[in-house]
Chain A
Amino acid sequence: GESVGLHLPTLSVQEGDNSIINCAYSNSASDYFIWYKQESGKGPQFIIDIRSNMDKRQGQRVTVLLNKTVKHLSLQIAATQPGDSAVYFCAECRSTDSWGKLQFGAGTQVVVTP
Chain B
Amino acid sequence: EAGVAQSPRYKIIEKRQSVAFWCNPISGHATLYWYQQILGQGPKLLIQFQNNGVVDDSQLPKDRFSAERLKGVDSTLKIQPAKLEDSAVYLCASSPLTGRSPLHFGNGTRLTVT
Contacts and interface: CB of A to CB of B under 8 A. Distances in A.
A4 B72 CA distance: 32
B42 A104 contact: yes
A99 B4 contact: no
A46 B44 contact: no
Contact of A89 (B42, B48, B55, B100): B42
B44 A104 contact: yes
B24 interface: no
A42 B100 CA distance: 23
Interface size class of A (residues with CB under 8 A): 20 to 34
Contact of A100 (B31, B40, B91): B31
B33 interface: yes
B1 to A, nearest CB: 14
A103 to B, nearest CB: 8
Contacts of A107: 40-42
A50 to B, nearest CB: 11
Contacts of B93: 43, 100
Contacts of B51: none
Interface of A: 4, 32, 34, 36, 41-46, 49, 51, 89, 91, 93, 97-102, 104-107
